[in-house]
Chain A
Amino acid sequence: MRRLAGGVRGLLPVLPFFLLTLLPLAWLLGTVSWEGAKAPVWGREGLLLGRTLLYGTAVASSAVLLAYLALVFGAFTPWVDRGLLKAFLFLALPVPGTVFAYAGLKALGLLGLPSRGFAPSWLVHTASLLPVALFILATGLHTLKKEPLHAARLLGSDARMLARILPGMLAPQVLAALGTVFLLSVGDYAIPSIFSINVYSLGIFVEYSSSLSLGSTLVKSAPLVLLQALVLLLLLGRTEPLFLTGGRKGMLTLELSLPGTLLAAGGLLLGLALLLVLLPFLLVLTDLAMWRGLPQTLARSGRDLAASLGILFRAGILALPVSYLGGWWLHSLRKGRRPALFLVLLPAFLPGSLTGAALIHLYNRPCTSGLYDSLWMPALAVLARFLPLSLLVVHASFRRLDRELVDAAFLLHPSRLKAHLQVLLPLVLPGLALGTAFLLLFGLGELGATVLVLPPGSSTVTVRLYNYLHYGASEEVLGLSFLLLAGMGGILGAAGLLSGLARRLRKMD
Chain B
Amino acid sequence: MDRTNGITLHELTKTWPQPGGAERLTVFSGLSHTFPPGSRTAIVGPSGSGKTTLLQMVAGLEAPDGGFVEAPKAPELGYVFQSPALWPHKTVRSNMRYGLGEHLFSGADPLEEARYRDILQALELEDLQGKYPATLSGGQAKRVSLARTLVTRPSCLLLDEPLGALDGALKDRVLDFLLEWVHWTEATLLYVTHDHGEARRICTRVLEVRDQGLVEVG
Please tell me which one of the listed residues A151, A156, A171 contacts residue B85 in the complex, with CB atoms under 8 A apart: A151
A141-156 residues with Cβ-Cβ distance < 8 A to B are 145, 147-148, 150-156
- Neighbouring A residues of B61 by C-beta, 8 Å: 150
Please tell me which one of the listed residues B74, B88, B89, B90 contacts residue A153 in the complex, with CB atoms under 8 A apart: B74
B148 touches A169 (CB 8 A): no
Interface residues of A, Cβ cutoff 8 Å to B: 145, 147-148, 150-156, 164-165, 168-169, 171
B86 touches A155 (CB 8 A): no
Question: In the bound complex, how far is the Cα of B99 from the Cα of A400, in angstroms?
Answer: 36
Question: In the bound complex, how far is the Cα of B133 from the Cα of A145, in angstroms?
Answer: 15
CB of B193 closer than 8 Å to a CB of A: no
Main SS at interface, chain A: helix
B87 touches A165 (CB 8 A): yes
> C-beta contact mask, B81-97 vs A, less than 8 Å → 1, else 0?
11101111110000000
A168 to B, closest residue via Cβ: B89
> 19 A–B contact pairs at CB < 8 A?
A145-B85, A147-B82, A148-B86, A148-B88, A150-B59, A150-B61, A150-B85, A151-B79, A151-B145, A151-B148, A154-B74, A154-B75, A155-B74, A155-B148, A156-B74, A156-B75, A165-B98, A168-B87, A168-B90
> C-beta contact mask, B47-83 vs A, less than 8 Å → 1, else 0?
0000000000001010000000000001101110111
- Neighbouring B residues of A155 by C-beta, 8 Å: 74-75, 98-99, 148-149, 152
Interface residues of B, Cβ cutoff 8 Å to A: 59, 61, 74-75, 77-79, 81-83, 85-90, 98-99, 101, 145, 148-149, 152
A145 touches B89 (CB 8 A): no
A152 touches B87 (CB 8 A): yes
Question: In the bound complex, how far is the Cα of B108 from the Cα of A291, in angstroms?
Answer: 70
- Neighbouring A residues of B101 by C-beta, 8 Å: 156
Least Cβ–Cβ distance between A21 and chain B, in angstroms = 34
Central interface residue in B79, B81, B87, B148, by most chain A CB within 10 Å: B87
B89 touches A156 (CB 8 A): no
Give 3 nearest A-B pairs by CB, closest first.
Answer: A168-B89, A155-B99, A147-B85
B88 touches A169 (CB 8 A): yes
Question: In the bound complex, how far is the Cα of B87 from the Cα of A401, in angstroms?
Answer: 28
B90 touches A151 (CB 8 A): no
Question: In the bound complex, how far is the Cα of B99 from the Cα of A413, in angstroms?
Answer: 55
A167 to B, closest residue via Cβ: B89
Question: In the bound complex, how far is the Cα of B106 from the Cα of A246, in angstroms?
Answer: 43
- Extra A-B contacts (4), CB below 8 Å, given A145-B85, A148-B87, A154-B77: A147-B82, A154-B59, A155-B74, A165-B98
Question: In the bound complex, how far is the Cα of B102 from the Cα of A156, in angstroms?
Answer: 10
Please tell me which one of the listed residues B79, B88, B99 contacts residue A156 in the complex, with CB atoms under 8 A apart: B99
A152 touches B98 (CB 8 A): yes
A150 touches B74 (CB 8 A): no
A169 touches B85 (CB 8 A): no
Question: In the bound complex, how far is the Cα of B81 from the Cα of A154, in angstroms?
Answer: 11
Least Cβ–Cβ distance between B69 and chain A, in angstroms = 15
Question: In the bound complex, how far is the Cα of B88 from the Cα of A171, in angstroms?
Answer: 11
Question: In the bound complex, how far is the Cα of B148 from the Cα of A27, in angstroms?
Answer: 58
Please tell me which one of the listed residues A154, A164, A168 contacts residue B79 in the complex, with CB atoms under 8 A apart: A154
